[in-house]
Amino acid sequence: MEDVRTRRGADVASDHHLVVANLKLKLKKNWTSGQTALQRFNTAFLRDTDKLNEFKIALNNRFQALQDLLKEEETSMEDNWKGFKEALSSTCQEVLGLKKHHHKEWISTEILDKIKERKNKKAAINNSRTRAEKVQAQAEYTEANKQVKRSIRADKKKYVEELAKTAEKAAREGNIKQLYDTTKKLSGKYNKPERPVKDKEGKSITEIQQQRNRWVEYFEEPLNRPAPMNPPDIEAAHIDLPIDVNPPTTEEIRMATKLQHYGSSSNNQLSGTHHYTSTSLIMIKHLTV
């Protein structure tokens, strides 16, 4: 142990102070694959009406400048997509910023403001010079802490009720994927127990390299099948299929983006109801130009 300090300014809703210590340990080297960590945008700010309007105006201006540039120069489809993606990402970076802390989904901007106010009350306790000032500051801090907890409980209850309504709507419409994802959020995380890798005789394999070799052996058998003795003779179609090759319409792009939103994973940076509803109309407008 190299150093120990007391952080009196840390807001942990307790009469105790946070203790931070520096320890020197020898750890095993962690070999990384060279991939950078995924950076997420703070889409929770879109719940604020002023921030949402600011985001719409900035995004519309970026897309308008991009369209003017594309009209002047001849670019490929790949260049157009890169410019479109860069405009959307730079707008999120400028207006929303990156998510610094991992908050629960039901944590709203109002709660974050109350948490910041509670932290200021904690600083007032530490900066009190007299006993009367400290008692007054402690009472204000206690009340601010109650308001934070009360708001968190109310917002969490509202969040769960909205998820329940979404699950009921998905069940009525037959949207099984959305129903499954919503039910999974309501039930919480469940870790599937790991099963050991076994050889052909049913014995468990504990060595890592032997497990990898067993997986290779397992997939080689069903995938590397011999060629069929009598391959089927499939004739080419005499009539071409009626495939529409015209540019997509606004309605087709709207439905495609909507389906992509419902089918997006949790890792997608541009997923989320607030982000989708605020950008879909602007994106469709510039995609159909």
- State pLDDT tens for residues 39-49: 788 877 777 78
Statement: residue 284 has pLDDT above 80? no
In this structure, are residues 158 and 106 in contact, taking their beta carbons and an 8 Å threshold? yes
Question: What pLDDT score does 237 carry?
Answer: 77
- Ranges 77-86, 235-244, 280-289: which has the least confidence: 280-289
Q: Is the pLDDT of residue 87 over 90?
A: no
Q: Which of 101-105, 169-173, 264-268 is predicted least confidently?
A: 264-268
More confident residue, 101 or 210: 210
Residue 28, both tokens: 């095993």
Both tokens assigned to 134: 């400290």
Query: Has residue 267 got a pLDDT over 50?
Result: no
Long-range pairs, 159-168, Cβ under 8 A, ≥24 = 159/105, 159/106, 160/106, 160/186
Cβ pair 84, 66 in contact under 8 A? yes
pLDDT score at 3: 87
pLDDT digits (tens, 9 = 90+) for 183-225: 888 887 666 667 788 888 888 888 889 989 999 988 888 878 7
The predicted model scores a pTM of: 0.50
Q: How many CA atoms lie within 13 A of 47 on its CB side?
A: 12
Comparing CA positions, the residue from 55, 25, 60 lying closest to residue 42 is 55
DSSP state of 28: -
Task: Kindly state the average pLDDT of the residues 22-41.
Answer: 72
